[in-house]
Amino acid sequence: MAGPFERLALLASDTDKAQEAREQVEGTRDWVPLEEADAAVVLGGDGFMLATLHSMLDGGRVIPVYGLNLGTVGFLMNRYRKDLNLSERIAKAKPFTIAPLCMTATTQDGETIQYNAINEVSLLRETRQSARIEVSVGGKVRIPRLTCDGVLLATPAGSTAYNLSANGPILPLDSELLALTPISAFRPRRWRGAILPDRSTVKFRILEADKRPVAAVADQKEVRDIAEVSIEIARDDRLSLLFDPGHSLDERIVSEQFVG
């Protein structure tokens, strides 16, 4: 039962659990190099999955990905079973498309750096002093001065990650929304964040940047000493994750809201 994906690549993180699983999975079928594959099977945790997706975005060739959880949370992964019938599971898997964020950061030295973020873009203070940040949405200044440890913009796929830890909202995958969430905001004291249409362009301008330096982090990629950051959806860089029926990322986002 080959389904739509006849040529599969196998990728595994370097953890002992993932490498042990790789030895088992390798003998189940013939595998091809990633550059020749119709889809990829990823063994590991969410961090390795994010790294794999980023490498595809950076390499300019994006193919569907089916993850098997050998990590901790495995929010982006399917359940790993030693008795798995991998070909059948992949043939029955349902695709879910997600769009990453595109972050354009300008440093205090005038350098412009662009990174994609699948989960979130976070701005974080670099020193013990709080950050002061001007927040604009859709070309309009919404908060002239946000005094905080930081602020983040999360996709629906990333809304259960750092965003949730910072008391941000969980967003359904099909909501076409973004979560704008402060991190330990001091002023405005009562501001708890905002939910924005994903067509919004969000800009952050760092106030007193020399005295209160701020770093911008797009998932795992950091740019230090920033002056300004602009973020919008990268609609031309959509990613496709494959999930077992009944275990989709959409269902996991709903389920997460009922966990005590």
Q: Which pLDDT score is estimated for 3?
A: 59
According to the model, what pLDDT value does residue 17 have? 94
Same fold, 8-99+238-256 and 101-233: no
Question: What is the Cα–Cα distance from 72 to 92, expressed in whole angstroms?
Answer: 25
**Residue 74: CB atoms within 10 Å:** 18
pLDDT 10s digits, 18-52 = 999 999 999 888 999 999 999 999 999 999 999 99
CA distances from 178 to 21, 75, 215 (A): 36, 18, 21
Residue 78's φ and ψ, nearest 5 degrees, are: -95, 160
Instruction: Give the pLDDT score at 189.
Output: 85
Check whether domain 101-233 has CATH 2.60.200.30, yes or no: yes
Residue spans of the domains in the chain: they are: 8-99+238-256, 101-233
| Residue 157: both structure tokens together | 């796929």
Q: d(Cα 203, Cα 127) in Å, to the nearest integer?
A: 22
Q: What's the pLDDT at 254?
A: 74
The set of residues, in sequence order, having a beta carbon less than 8 Å from that of 226 and lying 6+ positions away, is: 105, 106, 107, 108, 123, 206, 209, 214, 215, 216
Q: Cα(155)–Cα(161) distance, rounded to whole angstroms?
A: 10
Position 257 scores a pLDDT of 73
Topology at the third CATH level for domain 8-99+238-256 = Rossmann fold (3.40.50)
Q: What is the pLDDT of residue 260?
A: 59
Ranges under pLDDT 70 in the chain: 1-3, 84, 248-249, 259-260
Question: Which pLDDT does position 157 carry in this prediction?
Answer: 87
Binding-site residue set for NAD(+): 46-47, 119-120, 149, 157, 160-165
Model confidence, pTM = 0.86
* pLDDT confidence of residue 1: 42
- Residue 114 has a pLDDT of 96
Q: Which residues are catalytic?
A: 46
Q: Supply φ then ψ for residue 237, to 5 degrees.
A: -120, 45
